[in-house]
Amino acid sequence: MHDTDVNPGNEYPDLEVGHNKTWAVGVPAILHSMEPAIREMGPTRTAKLMTAINQKDGFDCMSCAWPDPGDRNILEFCENGAKAVTWEATPITVPTSFWAQNSLTSLLDKSEYWLGMQGRLVEPVHKPAGADHYEPIGWDEAFALIAERLNGLSSPDQAAFYTSGRTANETAFVYQLFARAFGTNNLPDCSNMCHESTGTALSETIGIGKSTIAYDDFGKADLIIVMGQNPGTNHPRMLTALEEAKRNGATIVAVNPLPEAGLIRYKNPQKPRGIIGRGTQIADHFLQIRSGGDMALLQAVSQRVLEAEDAAPGTVLDHEFLAKHTLGLEEFRAHIATLDDFTVLEATGLTLEEIDLLADLYIRSDRVIITWAMGLTQQKNAVATLKELMTLLLLRGNIGKPGAGASPIRGHSNVQGDRTMGIWEQMPSTFLDALQAEFGFDPPRAHGFDALQTLAGLQRGDIDVFFAMGGNFVAAISDTAAAEAAMRGAGLTVQVSTKLNRSHVVTGEEALILPTLGRTEVDLQAGGPQFLSVEDSVCAVHATHGKIPPVAPGLLSEVAIVCRLAQATLGDRHGIDWAGFEAEYDVIRDHISRVVPGFETFNADVRRKGGFVLPNGPRDERRFDTATGKAMITVNELEPLERPEGRLILQTLRSHDQFNTTIYSLNDRYRGIKNGRDVIFVNPDDLLELGLTDGQRVDIHSEWSDGVDRVLPNYRVVSYPTARGCAAAYYPEANVLVPLQSAATGSNTPVSKAVIVRLEPVPQA
Ligand SMILES: Nc1nc2c(c(=O)[nH]1)N[C@H]1C(S)=C(S)[C@@H](COP(=O)(O)OP(=O)(O)OC[C@H]3O[C@@H](n4cnc5c(=O)[nH]c(N)nc54)[C@H](O)[C@@H]3O)O[C@H]1N2
Ligand SMILES: Nc1nc2c(c(=O)[nH]1)N[C@H]1C(S)=C(S)[C@@H](COP(=O)(O)OP(=O)(O)OC[C@H]3O[C@@H](n4cnc5c(=O)[nH]c(N)nc54)[C@H](O)[C@@H]3O)O[C@H]1N2
Ligand SMILES: [Mo]
């Protein structure tokens, strides 16, 4: 890694653009994965870490929420997991002198990449009001300071408690308990920007906002449709499951504006054949859809399913399932009959043959899984799209049977568990009642703020204290300039973090950074070494044990930080035994077992090898806990995304070498990009039409009805085989372009995948 120190949006002097790759993983990947670790940590520490990732007595990889198979390889991790582990387990630490040497003003010019490279945070630091530097502060003093601010608020709702999805179950539980005991439901989390649309759509249609499949179902499916997801980069171990499914005869269809490497061809590094051979062709069919066109595609396929049923009554729909378990079929049938091919072709950019092919495959397959990620959830019509996805599955009873179901693939390794533990601004009354019964206080009942609402609250001056359990809120949320201005209006901002990022530099009047143990590290408390637990994308809960000694003495665990802050803030109020929680996490798990359904014998279950799987109504017994007790087939109005003349639809996505706002390197190997991130991928025919050429520099302007000119200056145009009319640039830099007001209907998730942009050539010097 070289030491380029660049601003987001500025030119990378060494940028190289090559060809995009059509295969993923294989030998280069496994070599790439070991190299940074060995260089930074030495071979012994590396071996200890790499053989503990995702093992039954090891720690859970923090790179994604992909589940672990029952039969694990010795090396059950991927290249990007190795990068995440190395990034956290680096022995490099931020020295005390750093804080005096670097003013906040000077740090504003540093990139995320540079900030992350400074190493692990090892001492609490405080920025007093008016100061331009952080300075070291003692833990007790830090907690007293936050407590005083919190207790001085005129209402608990003037505080917001953000969570990023790496937070483990036990931490999340005590954290939400503290927020609610303090008196607020303001619990925004990264899920609000991620799979919130999934939670909203699935809760309304099937009564649970989670996947309805088990890990083994992949191997039993006839057809797997992968929509709006780039597994080769973001869930690489999923390729192993897809490969196995193919071996068992499954057909795989990828629906994406980009021909992502992992979806095209895959070389499995764990198999000799993968190392020497050409690898497996993963996707049998690739439907290169236009951004935002999925709803039209799903409706069109459902329409064809109903037409096939009309042509051969009794042979296509799963009548028994529909009659017994669903409501709304007739209304849907009437509505979908009006859908016309012209609208569908316009919205999807696909051909009739492609749509018919998918419909035909769907009708001929008895067991169908649809997986999806951000390409579907971060859209204006995301909730409606996902309801249509559920309808398509329901029509042929593809739910609650082997090899079939809905499979949202989560992002952060415990984002799903955090929600299960109560991190949500609108937890249902059943949960709040259970909390009340267990702890004897009356939790607030009014809904709190989600991520975008928190930002609006900051803008209005209604939120004065912003506390973050991990993450990088100002960089992750949309509309960077507006977000940063809003954050500066807070009275106090607190970040519990492992490494430096933009959110430490853009602060409220007064600010604190509280460093914490990472997941790889041994967590020793009064009651002995502690472990934590996480829930993966298929609702399996298992333990995660830190393996290496903490990077520095004096670091507190996240649980300890919450418990000490709670004691400092609440004292004896409500009589909760915070000190007991910190000493022995089993005590926390005992409380969880009485509050959260499915965890009744938590302490025993979590100690079983491989953990346990949470109950799931649709998956286990075709039980749908919706308002009607049935799975809901819904009617959704199609409103295709309009692309004004001369404009492109920009999606903001991840490179191969980043984890969300954390940048591991400036390369994006599969897309042929080296040493830079200031690139915009555009279809060659669009370039021709716009009078632009590959290699040219452009300013990217986003267009929104508020008339604000949001610009990402001086980007290099890369001619790339994306769908016509659709462009792509990297997140988080491109968040500058996403208007704050642009949010998904029903879930309030920022529309990060469809920004209307105009490219203006930069005059040549
Ligand atoms: N290495 C690594 N792993 C990660 C992460 C990471 O940053 N790095 N992040 C984690 C997190 S929090 C998450 S949420 C996941 C994210 O995992 P992904 O959702 O795979 O991440 P993105 O890079 O946002 O990719 C979105 C994909 O959707 C496609 N897409 C965009 N618009 C559309 C559309 O309109 N229709 C369709 N069908 N497709 C579309 C894009 O071309 C791209 O392939 O990964 C998790 N795992
Ligand atoms: N434009 C655009 N915006 C997006 C997206 C997009 O696709 N496009 N994706 C959205 C999605 S899917 C998500 S999930 C969000 C992500 O939003 P966040 O979860 O807020 O962001 P991350 O980059 O994952 O957070 C990284 C920081 O977490 C801290 N950290 C790492 N490990 C630990 C730990 O163990 N404990 C603690 N306390 N801190 C730790 C480090 O300081 C690190 O800098 O961004 C969203 N924003
Ligand atoms: Mo995410």
Residue whose CA is closest, atom 44 of ligand 1? 230
Residue nearest to atom 33 of ligand 1 (CA): 375
Q: Say if residue 447 is in the same domain as residue 590.
A: yes
Residue 316 has pLDDT above 80, yes or no: yes
Which residue's alpha carbon is nearest to atom 45 within ligand 2?
476
In a domain, 4, yes or no: no
* Ligand 1 pocket, residue 292 CB under 6 Å: yes
Angle at which helices 79-89 and 26-50 cross, to 10°: 40
Confidence (pLDDT) at 45: 73
Q: Does 5 fall in a domain? A: no
CA–CA separation, 728 and 734 (whole Å): 9
The binding-site residues of ligand 2, defined as CB within 6 angstroms of any ligand atom, are: 164-166, 190, 193-194, 374, 378, 411-412, 469-473, 476, 496-499, 501, 516, 518-519, 558, 652-653, 660-662, 731, 734-735, 738, 752
Residue 273: pLDDT band (50, 70, 90) is: very low
| % residues pLDDT > 70 (the chain) | 93
35 inside domain: no
Q: Is the CB of 229 under 6 A from ligand 1?
A: yes
Distance 194 CA to ligand 3 centre (A): 4
Count of domains forming the chain: 2
Q: Name the closest ligand to CA 190.
A: 2
Q: Average pLDDT, whole number, for the chain?
A: 92
Structural contact between residues 48 and 93, judged by C-beta atoms closer than 8 angstroms: no
At 29 the three-state DSSP class reads helix
Helix axis angle, 451-460 to 480-488, nearest 10°: 50
- Using the predicted structure, report yes or no on whether residue 78 has a pLDDT greater than 90: no
Structure tokens at 448: 């709190």
The sheet carrying 532-535 orders its strands as 532-535, 540-544, 612-613
Residues sharing a CB contact under 8 Å with residue 608, sequence separation 6 or more, in sequence order: none
Contacts of 638 (CB under 8 A, 6+ apart): 295, 296, 299, 339, 343, 347
* CA gap 335, 635 in Å, rounded: 7
Is there a single domain that holds both residue 601 and residue 615?
no
Quick check: is 302 in a domain? yes
User: Which position has the higher pLDDT, 664 or 362?
Assistant: 362
Q: Which of 57-66, 354-363, 551-560 has the lowest mean pLDDT?
A: 57-66
Instruction: Please indicate, yes or no, if residue 84 is contained in any of the structural domains.
Output: no
Cβ–Cβ under 8 Å, residues 260 and 670: yes
Q: With contact defined as beta carbons under 8 Å apart, do 700 and 680 qualify?
A: yes
> What pLDDT band is residue 331 in, cutting at 50, 70 and 90?
very high
Q: What is the pLDDT of residue 6?
A: 38
In testing the pocket of ligand 1, which one of 229, 386, 735 has its CB within 8 Å of the most ligand atoms? 229
Tokens, residue 34: 């070991």
Tokens standing for 370?
Answer: 């649809």
pTM: 0.95
Q: Are residues 731 and 695 in the same domain?
A: yes
Q: CATH number, domain at 525? A: 3.40.50.740
Q: From the CA of 240, how far away is ligand 3's center (Å)?
A: 21
Taking residues 549-570, report their average pLDDT. Answer: 97
pLDDT beyond 60 at 638: yes
Query: Is the CB of residue 282 less than 8 Å from the CB of residue 263?
Result: yes
Nearest CA to ligand 1 atom 1: 234
CA of 228 to the centre of ligand 1 (A): 7
The string of pLDDT tens digits covering residues 135-146 is 999 999 999 999
399 shares a domain with 433: no
Which residue blocks in 212-276 are alpha helix, DSSP H? Answer: 231-234, 238-247, 261-264, 272-276
Find the angle CA(232)-CA(755)-CA(742) to the nearest 5 degrees: 110
Q: Output the CA 63–ligand 3 centroid distance in Å.
A: 11
Q: Which atom of ligand 2 is nearest to the CA of 194?
A: 12
CA 181 vs. chain centroid, Å, equals 28
- pLDDT at residue 3 above 60? no
Q: Which ligand is nearest to the CA of 654?
A: 1
Residue 433 and residue 582 in one domain: yes
Ligand 1 and 408: CB distance under 6 A = no
Sheet hosting strand 492-497, strand order edge to edge: 135-136, 125-127, 510-515, 492-497, 465-469, 159-163
The residue whose CA has the least distance to atom 3 of ligand 1 is: 234
Say yes or no: 188 and 200 in one domain.
no
Residues 483 and 389 in one domain: no
For residue range 691-713, what is the model confidence (pLDDT) as tens digits? 999 999 999 999 999 999 999 99
Q: What is the mean pLDDT of residues 399-417?
A: 95
- Shared domain for 576 and 618, answered yes or no, is no
Laid out side by side, the sheet with 251-255 consists of 285-287, 251-255, 223-227, 368-372, 405-408
Say if ligand 1 is within 6 A of residue 258 CB.
yes
- Among the bound ligands, the one closest to the CA of 168: 2
Indicate the range of 77-81, 171-175, 299-303, 328-332 predicted with least confidence: 77-81
Q: Does any ligand 1 atom lie closer than 6 A to the CB of residue 234?
A: yes
Same domain, 346 and 210: yes
708: helix, strand or coil: coil
Question: For residue 2, is pLDDT > 90?
Answer: no
Asked, for residue 97, whether it belongs to a domain, the answer is: no
Instruction: Kindly identify the ligand whose nearest atom is closest to the C-alpha of 121.
Output: 2
Residue 25 has pLDDT above 90, yes or no: no
Ligand 2 atom showing the smallest separation from residue 662 Cα = 23
- How many Å apart are CA 408 and CA 227, to the nearest integer? 10
Query: Of the ligands numbered here, which is closest to the C-alpha atom of 234?
Result: 1
Stretch 341-365: mean pLDDT, rounded?
Answer: 98
Question: How high is the pLDDT of residue 278?
Answer: 53
Asked whether residue 458 falls in the same domain as residue 374, the answer is no
Q: Which atom of ligand 2 is nearest to the CA of 469?
A: 38
Identify which of 193, 658, 730 to mutate to test ligand 2's pocket (most ligand atoms within 8 A of the CB): 193
With a cut of 80, say whether residue 72 has pLDDT above it.
no
Choose one of 60, 62, 166, 494 to mutate for the ligand 2 pocket test, by most ligand atoms within 8 angstroms of C-beta: 166
Residue predicted with more confidence, 701 or 50: 701
**655 C-alpha to ligand 2 centroid (Å):** 14
- Tell which wins on pLDDT, 634 or 76: 634
In tens, the pLDDT along 667-700 reads: 998 899 999 999 999 999 999 999 999 999 999 9
Q: Is residue 561 part of a domain?
A: no
Domain membership flag for residue 520: yes
Query: What is the identity of the amino acid at 50?
Result: M
Report the separation in Å between the CA atom of 493 and the middle of ligand 3, taken as the mean of its atom positions: 23
Distance CA 494, CA 473 (A): 11
Asked whether the predicted pLDDT for residue 658 surpasses 60, the reply is yes
Contact of 169 with 533, CB cutoff 8 Å? yes
Q: Which residue has the tokens 């491989």?
A: 610
What is the model's pLDDT at position 86? Answer: 79
In the block, tokens 């002198």 appear at 97
217 and 186 share one domain: no
Measured in Å, residue 325 CA sits from the centre of ligand 2 at 38
476 C-alpha to ligand 3 centroid (Å): 10
Nearest CA residue ID for atom 25, ligand 2: 471
Please check the confidence at residue 307 and state whether its pLDDT lies above 90: yes
What is the enclosing helix (H) or strand (E) of 396?
Answer: none
Q: Are residues 285 and 426 in the same domain?
A: no
Smallest CA separation from ligand 2 atom 18, residue: 471
Ligand 2: nearest atom to the Cα of 501: 44
Which atom of ligand 1 lies nearest, measured to the CA of 235?
Answer: 47
Q: What is the pLDDT of residues 6-20, one digit of tens each?
A: 344 456 888 988 877
Distance of CA 252 to the CA centre of its chain: 23
Q: Which domain holds residue 747?
A: 195-409+611-638+646-765
At 702-742, the pLDDT tens digits run 999 999 999 999 999 999 999 999 999 999 999 999 999 99
pLDDT at 270: 55
The enclosing domain of 261 has a CATH number of: 3.40.228.10
Q: Among all ligands shown, which has an atom nearest to the Cα of 681?
A: 1
Q: What is the DSSP letter of 157?
A: G
Spacing, Cα 658 to ligand 2 middle (Å): 11
